[in-house]
Each structure stands twice: as C-alpha cells, then as structure tokens.
C-alpha cells in the first residue's frame, strides 16, 4: 500500500501543478533575501524541524519572508532561508495521501482549525495530508479498495475521479458543498449540483466513508453534509446558498479552498 500511496502523492502533485500552470500565473521566489521580496511571492525550500520536510514561505506586506509553513508535527523549525518557525496547530489529519488532486489538490490550506489555547491554526500542505491526519481509517480503507483508488493509481478510481472534479472547480474559487455533492453523485463526471441520491448507487463503502469523513462536522451524523436539507437553503430567487463547511473538517481546512 505504501507504493500505492507514493504513486498517489506524485499523481496529485503533477495534476495540481498542471491545473495551476494552466489557469493562473504563479510568482516565483527569485527575490533576493538581501534586497527584500515582492509581496505575495512564494518561495519553496525551507526545512521544517521535527520531520525535515520541505515547505515554503510567503512574502509579507512589509517585504520580508514569513515563517516556514509547517504542519503541527514540524512546528518550531527554522526555515532554510532564515525564516522563523511556523505556528503549531492541533494534530489533526487531512484528505487523501496527496490530496485530492483526487479529491484534494496540491494547494496548501489557508488555515486550519484553531489549536489548543495559546497555539496557532493547523496548516495542511494539501487535502491528502489533512485526510491522513483526520480521516486516517477511512483514507487507509480507500487505498486498500481498488474501486476507491485504483491499484495502478491511473485515475480510474472513484475517489480519484471525484477529487479531479473538485480540483477543477477549485481553480474558480472556494468549492461549496453543493459542488462537492455534484462531483460525488456523478462519480466525478460533473460538478452540477443536481441533487441525486447520496450515496449514489455503485459507490463503494470506502469512497462513501472517506467523503463523509472529509465533509461531515466532527460528531455529526454521517452524511449530514449531503443529506440535510438545512444545508441547502433556498432564497426568494430560488438560488441555492449552501451553508459553510463546518470547523474541524478537511473540506474546510484543506480540500475545497481555491487553488
């Protein structure tokens, strides 16, 4: 399963980068530390202490580099370019090993749920990292089920198709629950929020459980995100305005934020 996870991470990274390159311009981190940096610039290569993972820094409004963005496990590490340590958050998991660029893209989460008192928010590198932290059992079951994530990780698995559908929508902005539901009920064929049956006929239990874990509020009844009509209020113009993703979910913290 480890080799399958590795393939999944690589695939998600490639797909996510392809979507970004196709749809937007990404600033490179060519700025010289000695002369300051351009606001909004992203610089890869800083090292997180604890697990020695490679992360990134963003240029602040004052023209200086922010701390290295690390997960809770890596918090406190100094960046390779001299940045201060990242804030620490609660130890929670995220979606798919590598995000769903099958359901999660390769983008970093803006902010996670609040950590313990006195700590900052948890920041996940991508949807997969969040699922691995918060939905470990469901995520592992998906990797063990070739209907959820294909044995060859060739994009044919249900979760792979759904994640790709969601990531395409993330290019346009925040992906709300109606779009995720649309990608789910059509097994990735469409993000059109035509409220069909959830879980759709033919969806494997592993796929269903993973998506529910990603989207349901902690402690909520399974699939309340998709089946509760209160989450899809209709205004006077019959325009659907889905309620926001609940705190503590990978949907909110890593898997639906704009790429």
pLDDT in tens, 60-69: 767 777 777 7
Task: Give dist(CA 178, CA 184) in Å, integer.
Answer: 10
Residue scoring higher pLDDT (185 or 108): 185
Token readout for 224 is 């309340």
Question: CA 32, 21, 186: angle at the middle one, nearest 5?
Answer: 140
Task: Give dist(CA 115, CA 122) in Å, integer.
Answer: 7
> Is residue 65 helix, strand or coil?
strand
Task: Say yes or no to pLDDT of 105 above 70.
Answer: no
Helical spans, DSSP H, in 47-135 = 127-134
- Give the pLDDT confidence of 118-167 residue by residue, as tens digits: 455 678 999 999 999 999 999 999 999 999 999 999 999 999 999 999 99
Token readout for 66 is 């922010």
Bridge-partner residues for 121, per DSSP?
Answer: 114
């Amino acid at each position: 399963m480890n080799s399958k996870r590795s393939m999944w991470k690589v695939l998600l990274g490639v797909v996510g980068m392809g979507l970004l390159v196709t749809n937007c311009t990404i600033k490179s981190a060519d700025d010289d530390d000695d002369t300051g940096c351009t606001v909004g610039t992203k610089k890869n290569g800083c090292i997180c202490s604890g697990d020695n993972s490679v992360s990134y820094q963003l240029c602040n409004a004052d023209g200086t580099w922010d701390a290295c963005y690390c997960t809770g496990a890596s918090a406190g590490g100094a960046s390779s370019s001299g940045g201060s340590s990242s804030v620490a958050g609660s130890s929670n998991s995220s979606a798919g090993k590598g995000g769903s660029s099958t359901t999660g893209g390769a983008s970093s989460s803006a902010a996670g749920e609040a950590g313990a008192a006195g700590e900052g928010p948890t920041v996940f590198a991508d949807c997969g990292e969040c699922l691995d932290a918060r939905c470990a059992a469901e995520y592992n079951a998906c990797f063990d089920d070739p209907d959820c994530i294909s044995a060859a990780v060739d994009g044919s698995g249900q979760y792979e198709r759904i994640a790709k559908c969601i990531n395409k929508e993330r290019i346009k902005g925040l992906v709300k629950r109606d779009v995720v539901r649309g990608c789910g009920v059509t097994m990735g064929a469409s993000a059109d929020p035509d409220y069909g049956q959830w879980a759709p006929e033919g969806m494997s239990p592993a796929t269903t459980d993973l998506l529910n874990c990603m989207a349901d509020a902690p402690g909520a009844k399974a699939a309340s995100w998709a089946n509760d009509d209160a989450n899809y209020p209709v205004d006077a113009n019959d325009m659907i305005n889905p309620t926001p993703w609940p705190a503590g979910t990978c949907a909110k913290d890593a898997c639906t934020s704009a790429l």
